[in-house]
Amino acid sequence: MAPRPLSQEEIDAALAELPGWESDGDRLRRTYSFAGHLPAAAMVIHVARIQDELDHHADLLLGYNTLAVSVNTHSAGGRITERDVELARRIAAVAPAHDVRS
Ligand SMILES: C[C@H](O)[C@H](O)[C@H]1CNC2=NC(N)=NC(=O)C2=N1
């Protein structure tokens, strides 16, 4: 069964516990900055492992020292669900180990 889209109140409550993450209503987003390119690239691999574990996959855009993460739930028509919040929480939990600068 497809997960249920979250209400705006549920999204706001989730974002209150996810510093630096934001939403345009249809996606959860955050851009992380790192000390250089290799830390940013290593974060991609770490996020990819989490995504395969959760079977839930964000769009990732790797820059020189940045990684932009943007996620919604395809099976919910591109809306935000608890699966997106769970992925964001997992990413937020590992980010400090990658020398995030902002
Ligand atoms: C078959 C597989 O479980 C689905 O395609 C998964 C994979 N990753 C996914 N990722 C995202 N962001 N949304 C989905 O609905 C989704 N579905």
In this structure, what CATH number is given to the domain that contains residue 34?
A: 3.30.1360.20
From the CA of 75, give the closest atom in ligand 1: 15
pLDDT tens across 50-67, in order?
Answer: 999 999 999 999 999 999
Asked, for residue 3, whether it belongs to a domain, the answer is no
- Give CA–CA dist 11/16, Å, rounded: 9
Tell which one of 4, 29, 55 to mutate to probe ligand 1, the residue whose CB is within 8 A of the most ligand atoms.
Answer: 55
In this prediction, residue 60 carries a pLDDT of 98
Asked, for residue 2, whether it belongs to a domain, the answer is no
Tell me if 81 CB under 6 Å of ligand 1: no
- Give CA–CA dist 33/23, Å, rounded: 18
Instruction: Tell me how many domains the chain contains.
Output: 1
Task: Provide the whole-model pTM.
Answer: 0.97
ipTM for this model:
0.95
Tell me if 75 CB under 6 Å of ligand 1: yes
Domain containing 77 equals 8-98
Asked, for residue 78, whether it belongs to a domain, the answer is yes
Tell which one of 28, 49, 57 to mutate to probe ligand 1, the residue whose CB is within 8 A of the most ligand atoms.
Answer: 57
pLDDT tens across 74-83, in order?
Answer: 999 999 999 9
- Give CA–CA dist 77/84, Å, rounded: 13
Asked, for residue 59, whether it belongs to a domain, the answer is yes
pLDDT at 2 over 90: no
**Which positions ≥6 away from 29 have C-beta within 8 Å?**
21, 22, 23, 68, 69, 70, 71
In this prediction, residue 76 carries a pLDDT of 97
Query: Is-contact 56 2, C-beta < 8 A?
Result: no
Rounded to the nearest whole angstrom, what is the distance from the C-alpha of residue 68 to the centroid of ligand 1? 19
Asked, for residue 1, whether it belongs to a domain, the answer is no
pLDDT at 26 over 90: yes
